[in-house]
Amino acid sequence: MVTLWTQDHPQVLEDLYGGALNDQFITDFVQYADTCFEAFGDRVKYWVTFDEPNDWAGLAYSTIQNPPGRCTPNVIGQMAMNYGACSDGDSGTEPYIVGHNLLLAHAGAVDVYRSKYQATQNGSIGYALWFRWIEPLTNTSADIAAAKRANDFLMGWFLDPIFYGKYPDSMQELVGSRLPSFTAEQIAQLNGSLDFIGLNIQTALYGFETDFYVTQNKTCYYLDWRTDVTGYRDGIAIGEGTNNDFAVPWCIRSAVDYIKEYYNNFPMFITQTGIAYTFNSSEDTLNDEARVKYFETYYTELLAAIRDGANVKGVYAWSLLDGFEYNLGLGIRAGIFYVDDEYNRYPRKSALWFKEMLSSNTTVVDTLQLN
């Protein structure tokens, strides 16, 4: 599986025309994708056009958390977002413009792949969406609706145009004229432009209705949700806490069941699931028992969902190696292999667990077969 774009593109595109804010980005991305298909496609079985475009469009154009860090100055936000002191941007319009252009760039790349390469290269193409499952905090109709809105703004934003030819009703209602519209030709191009859905799912939070947006005199993508989130219900954490995210094994089953229910059980890959930790010593970092437990419990939930009919085709663990994170650098480690300052690689306990699990074709926590 090869990804064409992961929240980054050449700076020259930003300098020339503002990057993904400009529809010239669509043309340039399609040309880039065409070049990659021609050069490498005979060796690629699965193409991912965009990795986490839904997450990036929000973070990069409503906060300073991800480049280019554009947002409306002095928007006060909830959901523990790092809104920051942006010098330029519009948090109420730019995320939607960028999301719109990314969708059309994806559809254009798929058109090229299917018309020129797929028949001979025999590959598949899709994209990978970031999905933090939002569970209603309470059983009230308000919180149930708030959680569904959050999932609409996270997932429906990039799936409904492909499956239903429009943005989710909740987005149309709450965003209104700030939400770009599709032409009939664009709807036709988007229709069916996925061979699979990729899901990056690590964790979950509780969602509840909020009127915080009422106190703001500025619009913002995250405020448009009219949903706030928390990791606690009645003082009890949603999962085992870590210094990065909560471990919530059932969230992976909730995510694939969501695709099963709302998108006709479309073929899907778990394109990323895993967890990152900080460690106090080299010895400590190799003994990552918590990560082993994470994979055991998440995969057990996923296998149960598959046995109940979820159309999951494969799983990719996050991650093979320690990597450099946008905001935390090397302060957190997600790899099943530890990478030291000299770039030497050492298997953690989780790597040994993976080796055993794959060679025996079973999980450690039970004997469900990986069929």
Residue among 130, 255, 270, 132 nearest 203 (CA): 132
Chain segment 195-222, per-residue pLDDT in tens: 999 999 999 999 999 887 776 777 899 9
Provide, rounded to the nearest whole percent, the portion of the chain with pLDDT above 70. Answer: 93
Chain segment 175-191, per-residue pLDDT in tens: 999 999 999 999 999 99
For residue 194, the number of C-alpha atoms closer than 13 Å in the C-beta half-sphere is 22
pLDDT at 80: 41
Q: Supply the pTM of this predicted model.
A: 0.93
Class of domain 2-360 (CATH, top level) = alpha beta
Chain segment 26-76, per-residue pLDDT in tens: 999 999 999 999 999 999 999 999 999 999 999 999 888 889 989 888 766
Overall average pLDDT of the 218-240 stretch: 92
When pLDDT is cut at 50, 70 and 90, the band that residue 77 belongs to is low
Who's near 67: CB < 8 A, 6+ residues apart? 7, 8, 60
When pLDDT is cut at 50, 70 and 90, the band that residue 121 belongs to is very high
- The residue ranges of every structural domain in the chain are 2-360
pLDDT at 250: 98
Chain segment 279-316, per-residue pLDDT in tens: 777 778 899 999 999 999 999 999 999 999 999 999 99
pLDDT at 294: 95
Q: Is the pLDDT of residue 326 over 90?
A: no
When pLDDT is cut at 50, 70 and 90, the band that residue 351 belongs to is very high
Averaged pLDDT of the chain:
92
